[in-house]
Structure 1
Amino acid sequence: MNIFLYASIVLVWGSTWLAIKFQLGDVPASVSVCWRFALAAMAMALWCTARGQSLRLSRGQHARLALLGSLMFCGNYELVYEAERYLTSGLVALIFSLLPLFNIVLAALLLRRPLPMRALLGACVGVTGVVITFWPDIVAFDLAKTGSVGLVIAVGGTLLASLGNMVAIRNSEHGVPVLPGTAIAMAYGALCCAVLVVIRGDRFVIDLSTPYLLSLAYLALFGSVVAFGCYLTLLGRIGIERAAYSALLIPIVALIISHFFEGYEWGARLSFGLLFALGGNAITLMKSPLRKRAAAAVPAGGAA
């Protein structure tokens, strides 16, 4: 059962990066993200009801969840969707694998948590991996080039996700229940996206093609609900730190899928970059107090 849960998490969250590609087209990113998390919030709420978990929370908890939803389930995902217009899904997943490193640095800055030397070493190793992978775009940085634009957008999305993690840690400390809180935060994320759609003057449209609808259902139900449920179940069976190592395999799965479905070619630079990026994560995740808190509040860092 543990192997099944672990494999489900890695395969689902590793494949959601490619599924996002099928959401790109005539439908604006904000609209697609809105549909996704409105559907996911309803499914998660039904799951909570079936498990007998109340969705009634205090006003203060709703305020915190609204902030979490705007960061984690709106701004973060909108930037991820946009980044995939410029980069292959596997490369966006690789950049997003730096999330645990962002978490530890922001926790030191915003939550006044200690910043151990192990975390600093992990951050340096992980960032080195991304620099190796994107070295040609970095040395020839130009916002007129798609690689440079995609890199900036993906890093921005990772930063917003990390800020969302900081809010999630505070929510956990204030006793916000995980599953009901996630369902409500997803609903607020969908609402935030809807507000952005109105402000920008976009239209609430939907692509009725089979690839769009199937990918939307997959992202909402499997990527946002089923995988999250598997992750929480695995936490209870093998512990937070061991379950968190799923974040090391997710980018590998995403890059393999990108190779076969998007034609992305592996090379020596990507291999070395991936080795450093995942090595930095491994160093950071080892016996990390922050990871214990964060994993109890939000899903694994490699989720899309």
Structure 2
Amino acid sequence: MNIRVVSAITVLCLVWGSLWGLIKFSLHIFPPFQFISVRLIIAALTLLIVQRLLNRSILPEKGDWGKLLISSLMLCVGFYATQTFAMQFVDSGLSAVLVFTMPIFIGVLAHYILKERLNAQKIVGLFFGVLGLVSILWTQLHDIHMNLTLLGELGLIFVGFMWAATTIYIKKNFATYDKVKLTIWQMLIGGIIILFGALLVEPIDLHIWMNPWNDSILFYVSIIGTGAAFALWNWIVTQVDTFVASISIMSIPILSLFFGYVFWDEPLTLNIMIGAVFICIGIILSSFKLKTKQKVQTISLDHQH
């Protein structure tokens, strides 16, 4: 890899690694579902401008709308909206680790849906991933009772599953589709749907939305952390092997734990660190030597925030 690619990967990891803490912070400022809907809409409009500047097609074909609606609901409701709800009760770094179980779920789903064989290597990776989850949830498993923290953690594991399920759906239905155009309409459709729901259950406080400091955070998360970062990721995967690109950003959940501990005073307990290591080992084992089959990860990681 040349210096430009290495620099791009470094910037992307720092942006996405630090983004989880900012999202958690934003949930203390904005109504959560209004925040995620506006974020998705701004990110979609940012990518739409990029697509237009590149003189690429923007409007989907007539037959694409049904599949776009399904994938948008899976991504924006199953992933983004659920993530937003769950992160209200879980620290940002731990949230990233739990959501990044996605590649492990992909191994199982791809085996049954895409007929991509679940070999011994993937099974070992899945085993390490489960060990990681058990380690992270160990204190709650000692005395199981439903509370908001456990509900949030289970919700984030479900988010990882939905991320994987959305990826499989995209792999089956949008394999040759323009991924920027796909993401524009996924985020725009989903953002508008969530916004309508948010306006029914969350009051609008104009003081929050008219505050310059709040708006700067919102625009950073939306434009830099979602729209621009996605465009950068798309460029990276055109420059290097898909496998190399995917593994190179596996530092994101670890960086999220670090940033959460340093900047947001989030606890970094031994069981969380052990769990994070196990999950990363599981992800790497699940991905190793799957350069052609794991192109599915390219699509999925486009939608991580």
1:185 aligns to what?
A: 186
SS state of the match for residue 251, structure 2? Answer: helix
SS state of the match for residue 266, structure 1? Answer: coil
Runs of 5+ consecutive residues of structure 1 not aligned to the other structure: none
Deviations 1:239-298 (A, max 9, x none): 111000134200111000100122123333222222111111111111224421341x34
Greater mean alpha carbon deviation, residues 227-236 or residues 250-259: 227-236
Asked if 1 retains the 8 angstrom alpha-carbon contact of 2:13 and 2:251, the reply is: yes
1:169 aligns to what?
A: 171
1:278 aligns to what?
A: 280
1:43 and 2:46 correspond: yes
Runs of 5+ consecutive residues of structure 2 not aligned to the other structure: none
2:195 aligns to what?
A: 194
User: Identity across aligned pairs (percent)?
Assistant: 20
2:219 aligns to what?
A: 217
SS state of the match for residue 7, structure 2? Answer: helix
Q: Distance in 1 between matches of 2:289 and 2:64?
A: 29
- Among 82, 85, 90, the residue aligned to 1:82: 85
Superposition TM-score, scaled by structure 2 size: 0.91
SS state of the match for residue 174, structure 2? Answer: helix
**CA-CA distance at 1:26 after TM superposition:** 6.3
Question: Aligned ranges for residues 197-208 of structure 1 at < 5 Å?
Answer: 197=198, 200-205=200-205, 207-208=208-209
SS state of the match for residue 52, structure 1? Answer: coil
Q: Are the structure 2 counterparts of residues 274 and 55 from structure 1 closer, same or farther at C-alpha, using a change threshold of 3 Å? A: same
Amino acid at match of 1:9: L
Amino acid at match of 1:115: L
1:61 and 2:61 correspond: no
Q: Are the structure 2 counterparts of residues 62 and 133 from structure 1 closer, same or farther at C-alpha, using a change threshold of 3 Å? A: same
Deviations 1:133-154 (A, max 9, x none): 22001222222x3321221111
**CA-CA distance at 1:51 after TM superposition:** 0.4
Q: Distance in 2 between matches of 1:271 and 1:3?
A: 26
**CA-CA distance at 1:300 after TM superposition:** 5.1
Q: Distance in 2 between matches of 1:34 and 1:204?
A: 13
- Among 115, 120, 128, the residue aligned to 2:118: 115
Amino acid at match of 1:57: P
Q: Are the structure 2 counterparts of residues 26 and 20 from structure 1 closer, same or farther at C-alpha, using a change threshold of 3 Å? A: closer
Q: Distance in 1 between matches of 2:74 and 2:249?
A: 20
Q: How many residues align?
A: 299
Deviations 1:214-254 (A, max 9, x none): 22111211121111111111111111110001342001110
Asked if 2 retains the 8 angstrom alpha-carbon contact of 1:119 and 1:283, the reply is: yes
Question: Aligned ranges for residues 149-160 of structure 1 at < 5 Å?
Answer: 149-160=151-162
Q: Are the structure 2 counterparts of residues 252 and 294 from structure 1 closer, same or farther at C-alpha, using a change threshold of 3 Å? A: closer
Asked if 2 retains the 8 angstrom alpha-carbon contact of 1:137 and 1:147, the reply is: no
Amino acid at match of 1:193: I
SS state of the match for residue 76, structure 1? Answer: helix
Q: Distance in 2 between matches of 1:40 and 1:84?
A: 20
